[in-house]
Structure formats: C-alpha cells, structure tokens
C-alpha cells in the first residue's frame, strides 16, 4: 500500500513539474506616452590600462604589421563601429587614480615610464595617451568618458586636463595641445571625478569623498561648449546604499551630473570559479549575483529620488559584468577570461534591467572592451574574434535611443538545489521609425520557456527574430572556431491573430523585431 502511495505521489510530482515547465508566461507590453527614452549610453564600454586591453588589444603601434590607424587596430575599430559603441571610459578603473595625463602627451620617446602597481606590476611606457585615446574615439564615433585622478592627483591637474581637451581659445593648456599637434579641441563631455574612492581610489569614507568631489568639481568648468561637461561622482560598491545617500545629501545637485554604481557578477571573491569549465551550480550562482542588479538599481534609485525627484542626476553603472578566475596559464594580474553562453545570458538579462530603469539609468560601461573580464573582443597577435557578449550587444543596439515600452509579467522560476531565480528576463522599445523590438532571455539552464505577448495594439504587422544559443552553457568562440556562437534566425514563434506565441530554448537570448 505504501509503495502504491509513493508511486502515485511521484507521478503527481512529475506531472506538476511538467506543467511548470510548459506553463505559458503572459507578457503585457504597454504603449506609455510618458515612458522614458532608453539612452544609447547604457550600451557603453570600458578600456583600462590593464592586461592586454590597451597594449596588444586596441593599440599595437604604428610600426605594427597589423593594419592600424596611428597605432590603433583597424579590425577592432570596425567591430566596435558595427556595435554602435556610444561611449568609451578610460584610463581606468584603479589605474585612473595613479595616472597623470601629462605623462602621456608630447613625443612618445620623451614620455616617462611608470609601473602599473594595480595590474601585474608591468612597466607602462605611456605610448598610448590623451591624443591617442581621444582620436580613437573619433574613429569609433564614440563619446569619450575620461576618469580623472583624485586619489593621487591634484585639483589643478584635473582642471588643466579639461582645459587641454575642451578649450579652443588661447590658454596655457590649449597652447600646449596645439604644440602637440591638435588644433581643435575634442569637447569631452563625460568626466569621472575619481574611481572607486571607497577602495583603490583612496579608501575614503563617503563623507570625505563628498567633500573632495565638491572641491574638484568646483574647478572643473567648461563655459565654451554647449551643455558644458557632465561631472560624474565615484559611486558605490554594489549594495553600499549609505554611499549613495551621503553623496546625494552632501553634493549640490547643480554640481552633480551622475552618480556611479559598480557591480560585478561574482560567485565568491575568494574563489571566483572557472571561466569556462564551470558546473550548473557555478552558472546559477553567477546569475544569482548578476540578477541582483535589479535590486541594486531599484534601491539606489529610491535614495536618489529622495533628493532628486525630477531625476536630473543620472545613475551611471560604469563597471559591470561577470568576473571569474583568469584563464589557466595566463597572468593573474591581466584578468583575461573566456566568454561563454553564460556571459551572453548575463549580458542580455543585465541590459534588460538597465532598459527597464531608463528613467534613472542613463549610462553604463561593460567591463571591459578587449581581452579583460567580460570582453566583447579577444585578440591573439594578429587574430581577432568577437564573443557571445558582443553578439548580445549587437542585437540589443536596436534599443539605443528608442522609447521604452513598459512591460509586466510574472516570470516562471529557474530552481536549482532549493533556490530559485526568475527564469525569464525581458525589455521592449519602439524606435523613431516605429519598429518594435522585444528582447527576451531564458536564464533557465535546462528548460525551455513559453511566452505569450499580445501585440495587437503595437501598430506592427509582422515579426522577425534572431537568437543567440548553443548546445552547451560552456560553449565559446575560440580562435580556431570563431563563429561557434553567432546570432542566427529565430523561428520559434507564431503570430496568431495578434498574439505572439514564443518558445525560447534554455540559456538563450532572443530579439524580436516588429514592423
């Protein structure tokens, strides 16, 4: 009798599990005239003097046999332009608060060397400096975002940098710029005042940094260029809500263009897990950390709303991404890691969060662009490949400067060893030409998910789709198989009388376009 009861219970449990896996998620999209525009700068990137990001990545020198423009690789420029890169943050990161910009101008053979104390203890020869970076941004069609030195620099030094890059009249710094070969200013808009002031930028308290920010910001002015400059405060470390509270309370809003937030998806800072040979448990814990971004953005936004209800100050998530142990056999200080389907899912879900909070989040910077952490590009001498994260950023570029379409749904759960995460992530927008784009992510490592969307009121007739997926979570693009994971046509949906019925495979990213 007990055996029969047990069998009946197991059959019932299996049926319930089957029902849960085949349950349809109903997603509602709203045409809201008051919805914000998704700022293109949410899709920004980050280039630090770290490992092979600059040297051996972006910059190979003008004597290299690798095709380049003034030392910058042409293939990387082409790939990033295709990505519609809107902005690029430089020179750090931790490196920013040891960087003195005047070391990186003038004839290269006369530039002093320094030791990169943060990343690998390597000698930095300053051959890639202000002119090289800002000219590269012009090639990319991207806004430069300069991270100023507060930790070991001076107010005068940062004020001079603003004048050097932005002032067209006669002044000591504009004269120096012209002497170094650049007549017209670059008109740099985005300026970070220090980096991670709570840590490598000086181990400051929030109260102390707020005072330093006010001092530095006071002497950074640009009366000549329309709109002036956007001054960005070094923001909190993940869930340090007190940091945001102190900054918003103690810094006048007219001095504050943006407040940063840094958050990395890390399993454990002591043991971050393998970059490609990870288990489902490693994947689940990484996504658990990544999806915490929703809570972080919500809570930091609530604090900012107290002091800035009109949302004039932007939240700028200027470092985010997955952080694992370095690839075996590589320099631990260079932070080189492989980029798998896990990273594609992480990127898609994170960008959906940013899109949905576009009222406050108006810039973000994936860490980092080339050969470091969750890179979109990897190089090996003359070879260059793009990663699954690159593919996600490329598909999602349709959201740049499009109007957010707010949505609501109850996500099914992805459960592992008694813990659960939302399995479905989504965001939607309508661009200036009236095209609707819906980005969907299935976080679940094992089960497909069914989604239903009523699209009758969206003013579109036909849909097409692209998908990023692969056979295994651990799959990645290598230099031998560079196109293992690329976007392909997605056909797993039907439009039945104005209702989209979609089946999205496990650990995949889909972007639908309606016209």
Q: Over pLDDT 70: what percentage of the chain?
A: 95
Let me know if 138 is a catalytic residue: no
Task: Give mean pLDDT, residues 44-62.
Answer: 97
Quick one: fold of 40-401? Answer: TIM Barrel (3.20.20)
Residues of the chain with CATH 2.60.40.1180: 22-34+406-514
Task: Give mean pLDDT, residues 260-271.
Answer: 96
Q: Is the pLDDT of residue 18 over 60?
A: no
- Half-sphere exposure of 224 toward its Cβ, with a 13 Å CA cutoff? 17
Q: What tokens appear for 363 in the block?
A: 């810039």
pTM of the predicted model as reported, rounded to 2 decimal places = 0.94
State the Cα torsion 15-282-448-467 to the nearest 10°: 180
Taking the C-alpha atoms of residue 289 and residue 274, their distance in angstroms, rounded to an integer, is 16
Query: Which has more confidence, 17 or 28?
Result: 28
Query: Which of the residues 124, 143, 212, 319 is marked catalytic?
Result: 319
pLDDT (0 to 100) of residue 10: 39
Taking the C-alpha atoms of residue 387 and residue 373, their distance in angstroms, rounded to an integer, is 12
Least confident of 99-103, 136-140, 327-331, 370-374: 327-331
User: Residues of 216-246 as b/e, b for ≥16 C-beta within 10 angstroms?
Assistant: bbeebebeeeeeebbbbbbbbbbebeebbbb
Let me know if 319 is a catalytic residue: yes
pLDDT (0 to 100) of residue 15: 40
- Residue partners of 115: CB distance under 8 A and separation at least 6: 121, 122, 123, 124
**ω before 21 within 30° of 0 (cis)?**
no
- 238 — pLDDT class (breaks 50, 70, 90): very high
Element (H, E) at 80: helix 74-82
Length of the chain in terms of residues written? 515
Task: Give mean pLDDT, residues 158-173.
Answer: 96
- Report CA torsion sign: 275, 278, 282, 284: positive
pLDDT (0 to 100) of residue 479: 97
DSSP 3-state of 147 = strand
Query: Which of the residues 23, 196, 245, 295 is marked catalytic?
Result: 196
Among candidate residues 142, 51, 40, 166, the one with its CA nearest the CA of residue 89: 142
Among candidate residues 401, 392, 340, the one with its CA nearest the CA of residue 366: 392
- Residue partners of 7: CB distance under 8 A and separation at least 6: none
Residues of the chain with CATH 3.20.20.80: 40-401
Mean pLDDT for the chain overall: 94
In the CATH scheme, what is the code of domain 22-34+406-514?
2.60.40.1180
- Residue partners of 429: CB distance under 8 A and separation at least 6: 38, 355, 398, 399, 402, 403, 404, 405, 436, 437
- How many other CB atoms sit within 10 Å of the CB of residue 50? 29
Query: Which has more confidence, 198 or 16?
Result: 198
């Amino acid at each position: 009798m007990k055996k029969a009861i047990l069998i009946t219970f197991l059959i019932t449990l299996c049926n319930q599990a089957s029902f849960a896996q085949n349950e349809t998620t109903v997603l509602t999209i709203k045409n809201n005239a008051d919805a914000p525009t998704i700022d293109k700068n949410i899709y920004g990137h980050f280039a630090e003097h770290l490992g092979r990001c600059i040297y051996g990545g972006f910059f190979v020198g003008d004597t290299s046999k690798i095709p380049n423009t003034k030392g910058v690789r042409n293939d990387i420029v082409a790939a990033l332009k295709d990505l519609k890169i809107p902005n690029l943050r430089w020179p750090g990161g931790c490196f920013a608060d040891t960087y003195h910009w005047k070391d990186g101008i003038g004839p290269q053979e006369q530039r002093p060397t320094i030791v990169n104390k943060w990343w690998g203890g390597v000698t930095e020869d300053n051959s890639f400096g202000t002119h090289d970076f800002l000219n590269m941004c012009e090639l990319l069609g991207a806004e430069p975002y300069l991270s100023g030195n507060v930790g070991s620099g001076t107010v005068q030094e940062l004020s001079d940098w603003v004048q050097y890059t932005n002032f067209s009249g006669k002044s000591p710094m504009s004269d120096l710029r012209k002497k170094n070969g650049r007549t017209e200013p670059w008109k740099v808009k985005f300026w970070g005042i220090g980096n991670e002031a709570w840590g490598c930028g000086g181990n400051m308290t929030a109260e102390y940094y707020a005072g330093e920010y006010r001092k530095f910001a006071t002497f950074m002015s640009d009366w000549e260029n329309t709109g002036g400059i956007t001054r960005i405060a070094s923001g909190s470390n993940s869930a340090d809500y007190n940091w945001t509270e102190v900054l918003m309370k103690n810094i006048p809003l007219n001095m504050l263009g943006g407040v940063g937030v840094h958050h990395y998806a890390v399993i454990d800072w002591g043991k971050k897990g393998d970059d490609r040979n990870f288990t489902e448990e490693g994947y689940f814990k990484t996504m658990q950390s990544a999806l915490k971004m929703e809570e972080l953005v919500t809570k930091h936004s609530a604090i900012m709303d107290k002091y800035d209800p009109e949302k004039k100050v932007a939240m700028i998530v200027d470092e985010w991404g997955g952080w694992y142990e370095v690839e075996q056999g590589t320099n631990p200080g260079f932070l080189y890691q492989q980029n798998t389907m896990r990273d594609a899912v992480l990127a898609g879900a994170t960008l959906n969060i940013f899109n949905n909070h576009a009222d406050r989040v108006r810039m973000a910077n994936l860490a980092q662009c080339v050969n470091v952490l969750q890179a979109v590009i990897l190089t090996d001498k003359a070879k260059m490949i793009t990663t699954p994260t690159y593919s996600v950023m490329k598909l999602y570029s349709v959201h740049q400067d499009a109007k957010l379409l707010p949505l609501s749904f109850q996500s099914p759960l992805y459960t592992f060893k008694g813990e659960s995460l939302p399995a479905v992530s989504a965001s939607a927008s309508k661009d200036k030409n009236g095209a609707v784009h819906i980005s969907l992510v299935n976080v679940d490592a094992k089960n497909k998910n069914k989604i239903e969307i009523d699209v009758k009121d969206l003013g579109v007739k036909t849909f097409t789709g692209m998908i990023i997926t692969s056979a295994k979570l651990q799959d990645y693009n290598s230099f031998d198989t560079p196109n293992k994971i690329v976007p392909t046509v997605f056909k797993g949906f039907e439009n039945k009388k104005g209702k989209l019925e979609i089946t999205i495979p496990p650990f995949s990213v889909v972007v639908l376009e309606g016209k």
